[in-house]
Amino acid sequence: MMRSTLLAVSGDAFDILSVRGEIERIANAFGEYLARTGAGGNSKHRALGPVGKALQHARAVRGDALLGYARRVHEQVTGRTFAAGDVEKLDEGLRLLDELLASAPGRAHGEILSRIDYATYYDVRRRSMEFFNGWEVFARAYAEKHRLEAVGRLPLFGAANHGDAGDPWKTAAEQYRAQVRLAQTLLDENEEDNE
């Protein structure tokens, strides 16, 4: 039997801006994970690596299944199993994501995931710019201290890191990476003390 009247279903309105803080916390955790694992690339797909794949998978899967999937992608991409510090940030972001999606109506999930995707991409690019700007300051000071001649511009970090700019610059790149790691370790310890 067919109905002659139209049935419409309405739901409560959902304001995506009401979860902006949660979206930014999730993107920050994912950005931290990607910074620690050295993810990057010229495309959004490569820059987001395992996080991008997990966000796509989150459209259909939740909970431990999503965590397991993300861990497996992490292993495939990095070639490492469970490096504690790196993966803890991935897990943190996924748990926050799971909580957010559980509290939001299903019709909002696509928009939430899309915003997290782009917020994470922005976080990765921002961190990348900070790293390379920091390298430029470090390299300039290193060149002055060690009386290194820089023909034209200072070498890019990649050239210095791979030894293409010479051994002194390779040493500079190693020192800069160690300085960045130390700063991150101190920041992590400070966060733990504040909890």
The answer to whether residue 6 is domain-embedded is: no
CA distance 131 to 135: 6
**Can you give the residue range of the structural domain that contains 189?**
19-194
Is residue 165's pLDDT more than 90? no
DSSP string, 36-101: HHT---SSHHHHHHHHHHHHHHTTT--HHHHHHHHHHHHHHHHS-S--HHHHHHHHHHHHHHHHHH
Confidence of residue 166 (pLDDT cuts 50, 70, 90): confident
Instruction: Indicate whether 9 belongs to any domain.
Output: no
Give the pLDDT confidence score for residue 195 in this predicted structure. Answer: 61
If you search the block for the tokens 């790293």, which residue do you land on?
131
Per the domain annotation, does 136 fall within a domain? yes
Number of structural domains (the chain) is: 1
For tokens 């201290």, what's the residue? 145
Residues 101-113: tens digit of each pLDDT: 999 999 899 999 9
Quick one: what percent of the chain has pLDDT higher than 70?
85
Q: Name the CA dihedral angle for 193, 96, 113, 78, rounded to a multiple of 10 degrees.
A: 70
12 found inside a domain: no
Residue 37 tokens read as 């694992």
Burial of 9 (0-12, 13-18, 19+ CB in 10 A): exposed
Region 158-184: mean pLDDT is 89
- What is the rounded CA–CA span in Å between residue 106 and residue 99? 13
Mean pLDDT over each residue of the chain, to the nearest integer: 86
Task: Write the pLDDT tens digit of every residue in 22-75.
Answer: 999 999 999 999 988 877 777 888 889 899 999 999 999 999 999 999 989 988
176 near 157, Cβ under 8 Å? yes
Q: Is residue 165 part of a domain?
A: yes
Structure tokens at 50: 């395992």
User: What CA–CA distance (Å, rounded) separates 89 from 33?
Assistant: 5
Q: Which two tokens stand for residue 89?
A: 């940030």
* Amino acid letter, 114: S
Structure confidence at residue 151 (pLDDT): 56
Instruction: With respect to residue 7, please indicate whether it lies within any of the assigned structural domains.
Output: no
Say if residue 98's pLDDT is above 90.
Answer: yes
Q: Higher pLDDT residue, 186 or 84?
A: 186
36 C-beta neighbours (distance < 10 Å), count:
18
Please determine, for residue 9, whether its predicted confidence score (pLDDT) is greater than 60.
Answer: no
Inform me whether the pLDDT recorded for 83 exceeds 90. Answer: no
pLDDT over threshold 80, residue 185: no
152 vs 138: which has the higher pLDDT:
138
**111-120 per-position pLDDT tens digit:** 999 999 999 9
* 152 pLDDT above the threshold of 70: no
